[in-house]
Structure formats: C-alpha cells, structure tokens
Amino acid sequence: PKTDIVFLKVHKSASSTVMNILFRFGETHNLTFAFPVGGGNQLFYPHHFMARFVQGFSPRSPRHFNILCHHMRFLQSEVQKVVSSSAVYFSILRNPVQLMESSFMYYKGASAFSRARSLEQFLSQPHLYYNPANGDSHYARNLMTFDFGFNPNGEVSAKRVQLMLEAIEASFDLVLISEYFDESMVLLKEMLCWDLDSVVSFPLNIRDSSTKSPLPDTIVEKIKNWNRLDWEIYTHFNRTFWERIDRDIGRARLEREVTALRERRTELARTCLQGMGSVAPKDIKDSSLRPLQHGNAKILGYNLKQGLDPQTERVCRRLVTPELQYSSALYKRQFAQRHP
C-alpha cells in the first residue's frame, strides 16, 4: 500500500469525505500528517502553500510527512519540501455548476455573495457584486482554478487553458470526479494498492436537500460562462477519468467493484448508524459528532447506534467524525509528546 500521499482538497467537491478516508488510513497505519502550524484546519489558505506553514517543518533539517491533505492553494515546489519524492498526488473535481450553487449557499457571507439576494441576482450582473481585489473573492469565481494555484480571473484563451491542463497533468497522478464518487474510490484504491475497507465511507459535510433546488438552464449557462476556466478543467478531467477507467480497470470490473463498495457501505450503515442515514444538525445527539454549520447551508451528520462493542464503536466513530474534530484529535495525537 502507498503511504506517501498529497491530496489537493478542492472546496465543496466531496473532499471532506475523501479527507476522512485519508485520516482513517493514516491513523490505522500510524502515519504522520502535515498539519497546519498550531493545528488549524487550513494551511494558511488562501495564500499559496509554503512548507513553513506545516507544523514541525524546518528548512535546516527537512523531514517528510506521509500525508498532506488539509485545505491549501497548491504550489508544488513548496509541497515537495514536506513530502517524499515518491508521494502520490491526487485531487477531486466537481461540476462547476453544482459547485457554484453550493458555494453560494455555503459562503453566503463572502463579500461577493453577501449583497446578492439569490444566485440568480448575482449572475445577472456579477461585476456589480464581485471585486477580484477582495481577499475572499476566490469563493465566487473559478474556485477550482484558484485551489490549483492559478489566477481565477485570467483570460480564457485556448493557449492558456492548454498550459493550465498540462501543468495539472504534470503534477497530479490522478484527478477524481465527485459526481462519480464510488467509481473514483475504486480508481483510488487501485492506484494506492489499498483494500476495500480503506476507501469505504459515509458522505460527510453534505447539505440538507431542503436548501437545494434545480437550476434553470439559463442560470446553468451563466454559471459555465462565469466559471469558464473551471468548466474547461472539469470537462477535460471528466474525460480523462473515464479513459483511465477503461485503460486500468475496464467497465465490467468497475461495475463489480462499485457494487462491492456500495454493499460494504450499506453493511457498515446497518452496523453503525441509527436509522441507516444522515440527520439534521439539531437531531445529532452526540455533540462531538456535530459538523460545523456554515453560511446558509444545513450540514448533516450522523447518530451512532448505542451499545456497540468497543472495537466496532471505534470503527464506526471514525467513519462519522466530522473533519474538524478528527483533524484536531489526530493533531493532538501526533504532537502529544510535546504538550504533556
């Protein structure tokens, strides 16, 4: 199994669920994480990543960490200072239309969105609300482009798009697609030589469907145009994703593996969860399992069954622990000897 991993956690793209997979694998195999200095949950995002943002990194005696997976704005030359040269790099993308809708709800407090009554209103005259000079403007335009380290307000020429795609392909071994999450996990498992249980998960940091509504076609086109760079990245890697599946796995085996993954998830849900699924934040009984609520989104969580034996309880709890709580527990564990 591969144990040196860089995951570029792109915002609002099922990346919290992937992070939970990495947290669990790292904890089980006693791996080290590249934590933000002071144990926060972002590597000084939205600044470009710097090696000095990592707790325990020193340029005089550089040490390598196994897993780098907290939110960062990608800069490979700095990332290479904290991970081994054989590390596997991967990321996950989401359709920019759904991404924009999700960002609008989640980052409603951002300067570009706060004055717009609706996404429709924002898109009718984006430049009325959007100021690229604002420190949080990246949430409102080409967010994936920004997370990969590029300028989200750059011109959309064929040449520039081509260079951007080539740069991503040169840096990343695998780019997953969140709309095909289970297929993505099969591909990830294959590339990392992990077993099925290592990539099985419950969806984390997801929004209650009561705040979601289908978008009219006119809005969809406006979102694509406003996020043209993201759209180019997404359509390219959605295509190469399926090429990779056909080359490395084949559709028939993919189907079998996806079925096995889903059956295992159902089995774990039956073992671990009260009521088999996610619940509204107000219905989460154990406050340590309550995810951070943000903007106008209602973030769902889980209730564990009572009376599980200690080992099962541990497995189940790891699966449903929200990102911030899990990160902070792992941070304390990794730096325990320093803070008695």
CATH number belonging to the domain at 5-336, selected among 1.10.10, 1.20.120, 3.40.50, 3.90.1570: 3.40.50
Predicted TM-score (pTM) above 0.75: yes
Would you say 279 and 302 are in contact if contact means Cβ atoms under 8 Å apart?
A: yes
Which candidate, 85, 92, 91, places its Cα nearest to that of 4?
A: 85
Please enumerate in sequence order all residues whose Cβ is within 8 A of that of 6, keeping only pairs 6 or more positions apart, or say none: 67, 68, 69, 79, 83, 87, 88, 89, 90
- Joined together, the tokens standing for residue 173 give 């071994």
d(CA 254, CA 277): 25
Collapsing DSSP states into helix, strand and coil, what is residue 297?
coil
Please enumerate in sequence order all residues whose Cβ is within 8 A of that of 59, keeping only pairs 6 or more positions apart, or say none: 51, 52, 81
Collapsing DSSP states into helix, strand and coil, what is residue 2?
coil
- Joined together, the tokens standing for residue 104 give 């609008």
d(CA 161, CA 143): 15
Please enumerate in sequence order all residues whose Cβ is within 8 A of that of 275, keeping only pairs 6 or more positions apart, or say none: 303
CB atoms within 10 A of CB 29: 12
Amino acid at position 296, single letter: N
pLDDT of residue 340: 43
d(CA 201, CA 28): 15
Domain ranges of the chain: 5-336
pLDDT of residue 207: 85
DSSP code for 132? T
How would you write the pLDDT of the chain (340 residues) with one tens digit per residue? 999 999 999 999 999 999 999 999 999 999 999 999 999 899 999 999 999 999 999 999 888 999 999 999 999 999 999 999 999 999 999 999 999 999 999 999 999 999 999 999 999 999 999 999 999 999 999 999 999 999 999 999 999 999 999 999 999 999 999 999 999 999 999 999 999 999 999 999 888 877 777 899 999 999 999 999 999 999 999 999 999 999 999 999 999 999 999 999 999 999 999 987 999 999 999 999 999 998 778 899 999 999 999 999 999 999 999 999 999 999 999 998 654 4
Beta-bridge mates of residue 256? none
Please enumerate in sequence order all residues whose Cβ is within 8 A of that of 84, keeping only pairs 6 or more positions apart, or say none: 4, 64
- DSSP-H helix ranges across the chain: 15-28, 76-79, 96-106, 111-114, 119-124, 126-129, 143-147, 158-171, 181-192, 196-199, 217-226, 228-248, 251-272, 310-320, 323-334
pLDDT of residue 295: 76
Length of the chain: 340
Please enumerate in sequence order all residues whose Cβ is within 8 A of that of 95, keeping only pairs 6 or more positions apart, or say none: 179, 234
User: Which burial class, exposed, middle or buried, applies to 310 when counting CB atoms under 10 A from its CB (0-12, 13-18, 19+)?
Assistant: exposed
pLDDT of residue 297: 80
Is residue 216 reached through a cis peptide bond, with omega within 30 degrees of 0 on the bond before it?
Answer: no
274-301 CB burial, b ≥16 within 10 A, e <16: eeeebbeeeebeeeebbbeeebebbbbb
d(CA 22, CA 52): 22
